[in-house]
Structure 1
Amino acid sequence: MIRDQETLTMLLDSVSRFVREQLIPLEDEVAETDQVPDRVVAQMRELGLFGLAIPEAYGGLELTMEEEVLFAFAIAKTSPAFRSLIGTNNGIGSQGIVIDGTEAQKRKYLPRLASGEIIGSFALTEPGSGSDAASLRTSAVRDGDHYVLNGTKRFITNAPEASIFTVMARTDPQARGGHAISAFIVEKETPGLSLGKIDKKMGQQGAHTCDVVFEDCRVPAENLIGGREGVGFKTAMKVLDKGRLHIAAVSVGVAERMLDDALRYAMERQQFGQPIAEFQLIQAMLADSKAEIYAARCMVLDAAQRRDAGQDVSTEASCCKLFATEMCGRVADRAVQIHGGAGYVSDYAIERFYRDVRLFRIYEGTTQIQQLVIARNMIKEAGG
């Protein structure tokens, strides 16, 4: 749902100009230094990018899902590291509070997340639980007015920069499955919380992940999201449904950038006395990529509109995440092939994008998990 087309157009124009004039020229620097410059972070704050999906009542822009995916199409035309920095504040790092938080929790944290004063992070994955998130072992034991957390979270996006963490922990150590999991807001300065070394990754330099370790970490009971035990896993799944649509949209935007680069190269590169874009086998790769991007864009917009209309889009979100991220990987592979040997060296952006986009098929639920979600939902619906 688009609420105000004129205002949205102004936002998207500003974002596209920011990407074109500020971010794309910095891609190589970010890749080499593994750091987004402070001046860029400040510009993102000024543009309101940290609060896009946070309600207006708490200082955000409160974009609808359709508006958010249109934004994602635009911001994803550059290195994913830039989007990743603001992504958790608008997605998994804030939405647990937005969706299920108490009014006191919303007032305390959402305005600071919306302004970019603080960075939020989402701590679900553990060394022994990734796709099987319901088997997590981090524990939270009630002790008076506090909960004592113990456990380790792994591959936590923006953890090195985060000021608060949405942490999933087991409040009933005897129970199995997701119904014994609760969600907590844990501030970085809380005694007993420590960070591991920053992970060295295949790609996405400038976007940081690391372990988050809890050792007798005492968290005030008032930081239990929603004030209720045992509903944290449901909160996490609701957050991930939204996040999957967002990542699908990002995959579309990055694929469009890679295809633009591949087309430009194919029109400039000469072989056998003519641009390689004139060769039919090159044209086939360009055409297949264009068609798949178009299909993914339509899927994402349709699912976003359904979510805005209040429909349950668990199946559609997984369909989008599965198709768009796999599509993005295929486009990356074709773009490298079109570039030939040049695509394998870092002189061209496609070498970096090829590594960067590989992650899309893994986080927010792997492709295989999306297949399971889709099939199980189909079976459930068919069974009445």
Structure 2
Amino acid sequence: MASVPRRRPTIADVAALAGVSKGAVSRALNGGAGISAPTIARIQAAAAELDWVPNSAARAVSGAASQAVGLVLRRNPELLEADPFFPAFIAGVEQVLSAAGQSAVIRFVSEAGAEHDAYRRLFSERRVDGFLVTDLRHHDPRFEWLRALEAPAVVAGTPPRTCTLPSVGTGSADQVRELLRHLIDAGHRTIAHVSGPPSLRHARRRIDLWRQTLEEAGLEPGPLADGEFTSEGSVRATRELLEAPNRPTAIFYASDVMAIAGMSAIAEAGLSVPDDVAVAGFDGIALSNYVVPSLTTVHCDYQLMGRRATQMLLTLVRGEEVPHISTPVGAQLVVRRSTTRTP
């Protein structure tokens, strides 16, 4: 005979066990206004004994904090597998949230309407207390959405100057310039760039830094190809560059994953790294030190970025002020064999 499911405990059960009213339970678990410390302790013990937690609807009615932060991602979840940013960033986020007894709510959406709805519902239903904002785009509508919601939010990245939200960026611009000057000093005069989608602000920023640094050195920027921040896109872009009349002697990739995939395309073409084509990446993933040849890259501490952004967000949620300026975590140029020709 099938077993009868155990009924979920309710706030009335907690009140009965603790010998108080339902209103007292609600107040005790949402700040304790007008409730004595012994009574709060008794209510908390009753809730623990019954394994009861308030649901999201009750939190919405009572105005209680959700003890969670939101991250809405408008991208294919499968792309996260090849993205070095998110695993490290989320690890940093979770370190802070775990220590604070809080959690992250992540939503994947496919288009702008669903994205807007996700922000609105998560915040209005009090499933989250605020948001971490990533994958910044040009003319990004989320800044206006969050302002209208009056939702606490922190940007992970470098937003436009018109954005009034606090942000945490990599602060890697100087290191990208240093990397490109390293290639120029090594004698390279045709330095290509395999970028991410130009619709993303960080991809466009790396394109601009590449172009500006070459122009400052009196060199013609190019060629440029979009690798889509994927291995497949990088291989396709690299083949395109190698087949061009002005074949580059060096390629700066907007990510280490694309750089490592590009190295395979270079080898497939019968060319050698770095003697025929020097290769450099961006991110500083652990694998970059173990490929052959080891990869020159700009290392960014995305885990630190996640920790700082989350600490700032929790400060905002508490009603405290944080500076509305970009806080950089810093970056480091790591020169390895992929850009150093054999004597």
Shared topology, TM-score over 0.5? no
Which structure has more helix as a fraction of its residues? 1
Larger Rg: 2
TM-score (norm 2): 0.29
